[in-house]
Amino acid sequence: MTPVRQPEAIALELLPLLFSFESEGWGPFLRRLSERTRSELVAFHRYDFTRESGDFDHGLHAATERFREEYRSYYCKINPYVRGNRRHLRTDRAILGSDLLPLRELAATEFYCDFLRPQKLHHSIGIVAVSDAAVNISLTALRDERKGPYSAGEQRLYTVLGPHVRQALALRTRLGELQMTLEGLAAALDRLPQGAMLLDRHDRPLVVNRRAEALLAEDDGLGLGRTGLVAARSQETAELRRLLASPERGDAECLGQTGGAFRLPRPSCREPLSLLVHHLPLRRPLGGHAGLKLVFITDPEAAPRTAEDTLRALYALTPAEGRLTALLLQGCSVQEAADQLEITTNTARTHLKRVLAKTGTHRQAELVRVCLQGVAGVISEPAEREDRPS
């Protein structure tokens, strides 16, 4: 392959791959850059100065996993390109490995003899993308000695790519943070005893908690169709559409007046589902409102679920008292709870008296109210999530 002669043109060719956020991640960009620079390895190298640890992320190499594992476990600590060279790691231009350490000195190091040379890696080049007191992240490439040192054109290519690499890393970091926020929201909603969904402006689910998934899977009064949420009958679907409809005006006051609550009859003749729709007055970055809405679904026939361990921790209950309390919160009478626990009614009443004293309540109804309104009503270990209904 001919040397790089038009670095700016090649950089323009690579930019769409650099800013592509497809499932392959950095792979296509790194592969093309490897081809263009005749490199055996092109990767993002991350080094933590405080821990003296490093790793090649998203690397391209014939023995990537073994290479990374050996580097992480030992060779990162003796990497001569990083150790002692922090002040020479620049963000304004590409740096050759020989700028940091002459090749003659490199050849005498354990890092080269036992790690790079067996991998047929000799010449190196890199551009720093992130550099602060603790961490350095660089786009790094290495290649076989027979291909010769990286040329001025290749240095120029890396220098031109530098600002774009920094921007792409910042964008991916932000997207990763947003993804973690979304996953955190999903995990929080999974712990609610009610069904909960976050819908986009087209009424498509963005987040569905495990209880809502179960109710949608039953398709008894509420389902998910091609146009979003649908009820069993057209009349109820029209009412649902009315509550979900975004306001014509986009001000927060108007948004606060939309949404509402209603009951959904079920073909099974079970008690109707209760729905609450709430529009979120969140602004989109380019103006206007995002049109997001929260939908809460309650099944009146579903037994309340509580975290027994939480009850015990909150009120210093014994295991027997915790089991009894959990059954009472599910709607059981003292006799029914005693039967399920295979204890006498008198024993159950004795447990209940102790629970009332520990919770500061005086009647069973008050006990149920206090417990369900507290954090014990938050499920600590939700069931495994199933595939969402389509």
Three-state SS across the chain? CCCCCCHHHHHHHHHHHHCCCCCCCCHHHHHHHHHHHCCCEEEEEEEECCCCEEEEEEEECCCHHHHHHHHHHCHHHHCCCCCCCHHHCCCCCCEEHHHHCCHHHHCCCHHHHHHHHHHCCCEEEEEEEEECCCEEEEEEEEECHHHCCCCHHHHHHHHHHHHHHHHHHHHHHHHHHHHHHHHHHHHHHHCCCCEEEEECCCCCEEEECHHHHHHHHHCCCEEEECCEEEECCHHHHHHHHHHHCCCCCCCHHHHHCCCEEEEECCCCCCCCEEEEEEECCCECCCCCECCCEEEEEECCCCCCCCCHHHHHHHHCCCHHHHHHHHHHHCCCCHHHHHHHHCCCHHHHHHHHHHHHHHHCCCCHHHHHHHHHHCHHHCCCCCCCCCCCCC
pLDDT mean over 363-380? 78
pLDDT mean over 330-351? 92
What's the mean per-residue pLDDT of the chain?
84
The answer for residues whose C-beta is within 8 angstroms of residue 24's C-beta and 6 or more apart is: none
> Mind listing the pLDDT tens digit for each residue in 379-390?
655 544 444 433
> Mind listing the pLDDT tens digit for each residue in 306-316?
667 778 888 89
Q: HSE, CB side, 13 Å, CA atoms: give it for residue 107.
A: 6
Query: What's the CATH class of domain 191-298?
Result: alpha beta
Inform me whether the pLDDT recorded for 254 exceeds 80.
no
Architecture of domain 308-377: Orthogonal Bundle (1.10)
Give 143's pLDDT tier (boundaries 50, 70, 90): very high
pLDDT mean over 347-362? 93
pLDDT mean over 253-267? 73
Give 190's pLDDT tier (boundaries 50, 70, 90): confident
Residues recorded for the chain:
390
pLDDT mean over 302-330? 83
* CA nearest to 383, candidates 207, 214, 210, 194: 210
CA dihedral angle for residue 156, residue 158, residue 160, residue 163, rounded to 10 degrees = -150
Inform me whether the pLDDT recorded for 336 exceeds 70.
yes
pLDDT computed for residue 380 by the predictor: 53
pLDDT computed for residue 194 by the predictor: 86
Answering whether pTM is above 0.85, one says no
> Mind listing the pLDDT tens digit for each residue in 69-100?
899 999 999 999 887 666 556 668 898 999 88
Residue 241: CB atoms within 10 Å: 15
pLDDT computed for residue 295 by the predictor: 93
Give 34's pLDDT tier (boundaries 50, 70, 90): very high
Bridge partners (DSSP) of residue 130 are: 137
Residue ranges per structural domain of the chain: 7-178, 191-298, 308-377
One fold for 7-178 and 191-298: yes
How do beta strands 205-208 and 195-199 pair? antiparallel
pLDDT mean over 180-206? 86
pLDDT computed for residue 386 by the predictor: 43
The answer for residues whose C-beta is within 8 angstroms of residue 8's C-beta and 6 or more apart is: 156, 160
Bridge partners (DSSP) of residue 275 are: 262, 297
Cα separations in angstroms, 91 against 80, 131, 307: 19, 8, 52
Give 326's pLDDT tier (boundaries 50, 70, 90): confident
Inform me whether the pLDDT recorded for 300 exceeds 80.
yes
Q: 55, 71 in Cβ contact below 8 A?
A: yes
pLDDT computed for residue 384 by the predictor: 47
pLDDT computed for residue 1 by the predictor: 46
Inform me whether the pLDDT recorded for 208 exceeds 80.
yes
Higher local confidence (pLDDT), 166 or 66: 166
CA dihedral angle for residue 14, residue 17, residue 18, residue 22, rounded to 10 degrees = 180
Query: What's the CATH class of domain 7-178?
Result: alpha beta
The answer for residues whose C-beta is within 8 angstroms of residue 387's C-beta and 6 or more apart is: none
Out of 41-45, 72-76, 158-162, 367-371, pick the least confident.
Answer: 367-371
Residue 303 and residue 321: Cα distance in Å, rounded?
A: 19
